[in-house]
Amino acid sequence: MLYKFRFYYILIFITLFSCSKDGNSIVELPKENTLKEITIFHINDQHGSIVNFDKIKHIIDEEKKNTNVLFVCSGDIFSGNPVVDNHEEKGFPMIDLMNKVGIDIAVIGNHEFDYGKEILKNRFQQSEFDWVCANVDMNSTGIKEPFEYKTVIKNDVKVTFLGLIETNGSPTETIPLTHPWRVKNLTFKEYSTVIDSYASVKENEQSDLYIALTHLGDNVDTNIANNYPFFDLIIGGHSHKKITQETNGIPIFQAGSNLRFLGKIKITIENKKIKEYSHELIDLSAYSSKDTQITNVVEAYNNLADLDQVIGFSEAYHSRPHVGNFYTEALKYELNTDLTFQNTGGVRSDLDEGNITKKEIYSIDPFNNGAVTYTMTIREIKKFLIDNKVGMYYAGLSITQDGNTIDIRNENGDLLNDNTSITLGINDYIPAVYSNYFKNPTFSSNTTSEKLIHYLETNNTPINYTQYSNYFKYE
């Protein structure tokens, strides 16, 4: 009797799952270990660059014809292009274009906070994609909390992203590299204090892939691969590098900066593990096809900005150190101080030979930092430089190191006594980071970029600071 039942079920199986009527199509039972495929496109550190989004849209749309596609961003989308940074709704053009090209998910970068909390709140509300970041708490600021991790499903592929941001913005606070006054009332934690809490996310979510979407830098991404090997891959940002590497069996990728390259990861998955992958960095300058609708949007934003007004002339190409010397000399003149400082990270672009436009100055100094002056003693200046060992461009006085001591001289070469009081002009980011060293500020009504523009507009002499080398860092 048992034999008959077995024969009956075998006959049903053969009838249902063998051949179709025409004898050509074989209908097979689904296999548990069916291979899955997905392509993940990635960008990072755009810093306001928008000109290549039309090419990116074309590339991604073509890929969607062939396979599952995700498009992700590893942070720092703002600060660097005045078309975006000086828009009447700061940052709006970037989010608008990210929406239109179809970003699925983004991690928060340190420069997302540059415009302040209220504007970030508005940009989050504008976003049609998800934000992830596991080591920030927006508290009662009204900014929408990002997901700690988020699972995205594309047809039959389930991918989970954990977001992490760097917190190296201050020697005394756990904050990202942004203006400290703009992240007040937000809480940040070091990534290493939270990451272990998410070791079981892939299992809990039953995901095919578990990806760390980070804005930590390549060295930290390597550390994560070595010490927290529960991710299938890491897609990072913050270092502005083109990275394709494998550490401890975990692929790590980064796509340069300023939207010059588009990262493309093709992945084959078997049993919730990467069976094989390939990575390509697409040079967008060499790609010609565009989505014309996106092109029109980009052109409209560029035309609206009206930043091509010529305000000065540069006799030579200025590298960033030379720009730093121009910056400090111009700020000294505008603020009428004895000494000026500019942090190296605050100079964001070089300067071409020829006409200088407003756009170039806003690209050099994109952060809308305030201009501020202090009265300080030479002893206080020395203590700041020695304690923090921070590199500064400067103008007005001469600063040199002799053994373990710092000599500061006036423009006549006279050594200044430690008790001598001087006036110092700087951008307000510096005293915000090193608040213990700067007291009783006098604020200007203009930003530092506005000071530079005014300097160029009111001085007809062409600039040339290529012979200057005023930089100091205590060693």
Average the pLDDT over 355-365 and give the result.
Answer: 97
18 and 12 in contact (C-beta within 8 Å)?
A: no
Predicted confidence at residue 33, as pLDDT, reads 58
Which residues are paired to 356 by β-bridges?
Answer: 312
Query: Which helix (DSSP H) or strand (DSSP E) does residue 378 occupy?
Result: helix 378-388
Residues 290 and 436 in one domain: no
**173 and 318 share one domain:** no
Residue of 167, 136, 178, 159 lying closest to 235 (CA atoms): 159
Largest CA distance in the chain: 113
Same domain, 70 and 164: yes
Both 257 and 211 in a single domain? yes
What are the helix (H) ranges across 206-288?
A: 218-227
CATH number at residue 73: 3.60.21.10
CB distance 89 to 307 below 8 Å? no
Same domain, 280 and 328: no
Domain finish residue from 271, 303, 335: 303
- Out of 256, 274, 303, pick the residue that ends a domain: 303
Does residue 252 have a pLDDT over 70? yes
* Domain of 284, in residue numbers: 36-303
Query: Would 30 be classed as within a structural domain?
Result: no
Chain segment 203-244, per-residue pLDDT in tens: 999 999 999 999 999 999 999 999 999 999 999 999 999 999
User: Cα angle vertex 409, ends 404, 410, to 5°?
Assistant: 165
Angle CA 425–426–430, to nearest 5: 145
Handedness of CA 319, 321, 327, 333 (dihedral sign): negative
Q: What is the pLDDT of residue 13?
A: 37
Q: What ranges in 18-163 are assigned the alpha helix state H? A: 53-64, 82-85, 92-101, 117-126
Question: Do both 279 and 354 map to the same domain?
Answer: no
Residues belonging to the chain:
475
Predicted TM-score (pTM) of the model is 0.86
- Residue 448 sits in a domain of what CATH number? 3.90.780.10
Establish if 260 belongs to a structural domain. Answer: yes
pLDDT top residue among 253 and 22: 253
pLDDT of residue 6: 41
Q: Which of 285, 303, 321 is the last residue of a domain?
A: 303
Question: Which residue is it, tokens 């002799």?
Answer: 402
Whole-number pLDDT of residue 34: 85
- Are 86 and 157 within one domain? yes
Q: CA 235, CA 220: separation in Å to the nearest integer?
A: 12
Query: Is 19 within a domain?
Result: no
In sequence order, what are the beta bridge partners of 442?
373
On whether residue 157 sits in a domain, the answer given is: yes
Per-residue pLDDT, 28: 40
Same domain, residue pair 290 and 274:
yes
pLDDT of residue 32 exceeding 60, the answer is: no
Q: Is the pLDDT of residue 280 over 70?
A: yes
Within-domain flag for 2? no
- Residue 13: inside a domain: no
| C-alpha 419: how far from chain center | 42
pLDDT higher than 50, residue 113? yes
Rg (CA), the chain: 27
Would you state the pLDDT for residue 337? 98
In this structure, are 327 and 370 located in the same domain? yes
The answer to whether position 290 is within a domain reads: yes
In this structure, are 285 and 341 located in the same domain?
no
* CB-based contact 442:300 (threshold 8 Å): no
Decide: 212 and 185 in contact? Cβ < 8 Å. no
Q: How many other β-carbons are positioned within 10 Å of the β-carbon of residue 22?
A: 6
Contacts of 400 (CB under 8 A, 6+ apart): 406, 407, 409, 472
Average pLDDT on 142-151 reads 98
Q: How many domains does the chain have?
A: 2
Same structural domain, 438 and 356: yes
- pLDDT above 70 covers what percent of the chain? 93
Same domain, 158 and 264: yes
Q: Report the percent of the chain where pLDDT is more than 90.
A: 92
